[in-house]
Chains A and B, each alone.
Chain A
């Protein structure tokens, strides 16, 4: 194993009630890097945080921290004192904001004056300095989570574990805190494990992204790669590629695969060999709708179908088109109104050959 990693796990296995909760072949956290772990509920994300936070012993596997093998080590407290952890809930101790920000340093025996100075610095940075003497039960959810983050950052941890720290916050607070945290993490020399199920959070913060499904890392790589080229249908569905359509490559020329999906043939920029059974993946935001097929366009794919359903999707509308297979498109509300998109209306769905992605089945 490489010596310059801060934390490494190999063949980590955790069982729970007779089932495998975590089965990770390899995970590595390097200095100054943020590894984001995404996954659906119950996929083992929190178990992974607990294992890497040395709060739960894996049933099998080896762990290496700060250059030493700690698999059989029994006193893990000194190692935990080199880490910082923020959970989904702020989990504050009763008392004031300052008392909480100081709590970790008091536990670790940091000199009182030094602790006070660092606490003031971080409270100012996270804009909770005016709340220093306020009792934590009077804080808003955002202020409480800022306190929890300050308590972790002030420890200057070599390994920072963030377990969905923003998921319980309202959207404006989450976005603001996410930006601030991303900026702090960019300056951090230590390693960070960031757990989320939010794509925006993952893209904002990560250097590397791992998708955890059923306790296993299904894919790991740069975020653009995982989002752009998911390795299988489960990853594709999880990272938000709603259109995962069974298909087969029928011909190929000049790096473009011709793929049959239902009664339609579409073109995809991919060098998958002819005859390969694939999943055709298209992001809903890459699908455009028109009342008729356009001419003089570079868009290679145009599929006719009838609208099956139109439902709100945040600021947009989610339009489901029956093309022989269901195809989802996200369309602005304005376009939905102007085109008169409603169930039963015949439309042509189009997408570029480079917007689609093939996964071997």
Chain B
């Protein structure tokens, strides 16, 4: 530490932060779902994994999309954590 940080961007609005995590991941999940289910039939996938569950094709697509979205959103969230400026969390411990 030899000089104070010259510029510290103020926190962005909540809608921007949440949007920047959920929207790109939604988009990526949509593309991934499309490509994945173009080759994999959800009913065949069901028979290979949980044959006893009453999973229809539509439910399979839905579950697939949300599973993809969960994964991509988790990744976006991780990116957000890593890109947060140090000034947001790198300070002395708060008083008891």
> Do A and B come together as binding partners?
no
Interface residues of A (CB under 8 A from B): none
